[in-house]
Structure 1
Amino acid sequence: MSLPGGPVCGMTWGWVGTRGTWATPEAEASLAAMTEHGVTWTALAYAAVQATPFSTAIPFDEPPTVTDDEIVWAIREAKRLGLKVCLKPVVNCGDGTWRAHIGFFDQDVPGEPTWGEWFASYRLFLLHAAELAEAEGCEMLCIGCEMVRADAREAEWRALIAELRGVYSGLVTYNCDKYQEDRLTWWDAVDVVSSSGYYPSDAWERELDRIEAVVEASGKPFIFMEAGCPSRVGSAQRPNDWTLAGEPSGDEQLRWYRAMFEACARRPWVEGFMLWDWPAALHPLGEAASNDDYCPYGKPAGAYLREVYSVMSGGELR
């Protein structure tokens, strides 16, 4: 099964979706600059913040989360620029704990927070996003990102997906974390299998072999909902580690991009990418050489990306 409309030449935009950073002149310029890199899709990513990994309240309508007006602005601006849109609501923890560690006792204990309470809050967050995505014609909805401990809650995810389909008519995907593709048991419930492709530059063939078995068994299209590498010495071997110390290096990022795209080119079942990432406020072009973050703007990887996505849009990846 293939995705309608051809390959996903995508980029994740706007993270972390902090209130006041979307629907600005800077954000408008950022989206426009992104389209100059062959991008045809964007994942508009924003976070609601629960206090700790053990909290069950997700106040998605409060700061720091972007407002509905900002989300609608971003969708409409992306579509005005000719992009297909995946809306990607994500939950973060206010204490800095990675969302993969959100979790509760397997069996409910009186007086302790429960999975049921958390999913009740998460359901409201996702249903609201689904309503926005449907109203604005988003082509895809990503219902979760790297929720490693929550992945095992199959019944809750299936119930949530079924309810979301009553609100949203587009493609539904879930962004599992790296190395988790073969651990999910409910890929049949979504339309697109997707994961975070933060694999070392010399590990792509081995990891793609493993993922390929999952994709074949699912019978679903596959994309990397995230994939990227900081422009920093050492990051090609630890592309998921945004805290890794190292000097800025556009060449390091370019080497990783080349390894990733060349390996994926040999796997026709990889139908695209939502690369990580493109912020709402870009670094100045003149500072690209000293910027060591994931965004490829003004860096060697950006020029290479433009070439690769141009070829992909023509139906062939080299």
Structure 2
Amino acid sequence: MPSSLFSWRSRLAIVIATAIVLGGAWKIGSPWLAQSGENTPTARELEAEFALSSSGQLTRKFIAFDSTRLRGVSWVAGDSITAAELAPLLRDHISWIAQMPFGWQADAAAPAIRMNTERPVGRRGLWGESDAGLIYTARLARQHGIGTLLKPHLWVRGRGAWPGDINMATPADWNTWFANYSVFMLHYAALAEANHFEGLCIGTELLHATEPAHEKAWRSLIKAIRKTYHGQLTYAANWSGEYEQIRFWDALDYVGIQAYFPLSTAASPPLDTLLCGWQPHVQRLARWQQKSKKPIVFTEVGYKTTPDAAAKPWEWPERMATTAPDEATQARCYEALFRACWGQPWLKGTFIWKWYPGLAADGSARRHADFTPQHKLAEAVLAQWYAQ
């Protein structure tokens, strides 16, 4: 070990030890990151947060600003949009939104896909998910310097069903499904091209459809999309292994991962536990990215406002009306996410799940109990990191 490095670490260790002995003299991060009674940071937290300057002073670490990184949120469609609803995004340094129109399947084994590109009078659906709503929202966002990732989803009918359940019974049904899915995606590819959307996500968590047996079908679809749409392409793979089974990443621009990695089974875990929980995931992602040679975007990542937010981040919070909110745990989960991942060279950006335009501070209690960081401690953490 070079003597200069040993000297740097030795001096940093001395300063850290002194700070810990002083007890309340140092405050790490923001007050909501500490649990009740935790006023003294750990050595690990201090070393992660501070660096020793050449003059021997302890200074806070900052990551150099990268204007190309995607600082995004998942935008929830509504029946209108105004410039005033975009203002909080700019305040929080958010530069991208993901818009999510839907196609519907009656059953996970049914190959038919229904589209609803317009919202006829008297029919269910949101204007913001219609073609007209998507286009208007993207244009207004672009006027304010905000890019759009068009991210069509499939909604599978049935309680508890999700796109990962889609699985055809026969090869013939798979051929029919891919033909229908191609019509679905090419419609949005043409819309994205005609209206200059900055990015297009060609699928989300289609676990069985992306198995290696279907590689040829995906490459054929991507080739057709490339002829129509000339912007950046990604696919949003489930965190739990789907991204590793996909064999068509080389045909896309970014690897998209729905980054709901479990971090801790404990209720209201402290920050150091959450940071430790990230380590195996970060190491696995780094090793895998060296093979794929593609930058990674967390196409979704977020945490509930509940004590168990870190245990199964992908689960929708049940009994939201009766669950006591835990903003401090949600904020610590955000801090751990950005500390562990934001400075990684392989990470191109993140899309936080999720953002309700126009949500008031005293608005729907149901919304305030779910994933959104709006008007919560987590929003300040998000803004701080997106500013870097």
TM-score normalised by structure 2 residue count: 0.72
Cα deviation, 1:242-294, whole Å, max 9, x if unaligned, reads 13554211111101001111000342211210111112452x21258872111
Residue 22 of structure 1 deviates from its aligned partner by 3.9
Cα shift at 1:36: 2.1
1:104 equivalent in structure 2: 168
The residue aligned with 1:219 is: 293
Q: Which one-letter code corresponds to 1:221 in the other structure? A: P
Contact 2:156 2:162 in 1 (8 A): yes
Work out the number of aligned pairs and report it: 295
Partners of 2:364 and 2:116 lie apart in 1 by 34
Task: Quote the Cα distance in structure 2 between the aligned partners of 1:230 and 1:166.
Answer: 40
C-alpha displacement at 1:241, in angstroms? 1.0
Q: What corresponds to 1:177 in structure 2?
A: 238
> Where does residue 373 of structure 2 map in the other structure?
296
Matched, 1:48 2:103: yes
Q: 2-side partners of 1:91 and 1:231: how far apart?
A: 26
| Residue 307 (1) aligns with residue 384 (2) | yes
CA distance in 2: counterparts of 1:297 and 1:89, whole angstroms: 24
Q: Return the offset for 1:5.
A: 5.5
Question: In structure 2, which of residues 109, 134, 149 is the aligned counterpart of residue 86 of structure 1?
Answer: 149
Secondary structure of 2:152 counterpart = strand
Instruction: After TM superposition, give the deviation of residue 55 of structure 1 in Å.
Output: 1.9
Offset at residue 138 of structure 1 (A): 1.2
The answer to whether the 8 A contact 1:49-1:94 is kept is: yes
1:1-318 mapped onto 2 (5 Å cutoff): 6-14=68-76, 17=77, 21-24=78-81, 29-61=84-116, 64=125, 66-96=129-159, 97-105=161-169, 107-108=171-172, 114-152=173-211, 153-180=214-241, 181-201=243-263, 202=274, 203-244=277-318, 246-280=323-357, 282=359, 284-287=360-363, 291-311=368-388
The alignment yields a C-alpha RMSD, in angstroms, of 2.0
How far, CA to CA, are the matches of 2:163 and 2:299 in structure 1?
16
Q: Deviations over 1:133-162 (max 9, x none)?
A: 111111110000111111112111111101
Q: Distance in 2 between matches of 1:174 and 1:107?
A: 23
* Percent sequence identity over aligned pairs: 31
The higher-RCO structure (CA 8 Å, 6+ apart) is: 1
Q: 1:29: how far off?
A: 4.2
Task: Give the whole-Å Cα distance in 2 for the aligned partners of 1:266 and 1:67.
Answer: 36
Unaligned runs of 5+ in 2: 1-65, 118-123, 264-273
Q: Contact between 1:40 and 1:82, CA under 8 Å: does it hold in 2?
A: yes
The answer to whether the 8 A contact 1:22-1:280 is kept is no
Amino acid at match of 1:195: I
Secondary structure of residue in 1 paired with 2:344:
coil
SS in 1 for 2:210: helix
8 Å contact 2:103–2:153 — kept in the other structure? yes
Q: Which has the larger radius of gyration?
A: 2
- Write out per-residue CA displacement over residues 177-206 of structure 1, whole angstroms, 9 at most, x where no aligned residue: 012222212211111011011112333110
Cα 1:126–1:5 shift into 2, 3 Å: farther
C-alpha change, 1:190 and 1:22, in structure 2 (3 Å) is farther
Mark the CA change 1:298 to 1:220 in structure 2 (over 3 Å): closer, same or farther.
same
Question: 1:241 aligns to what SS in structure 2?
Answer: coil
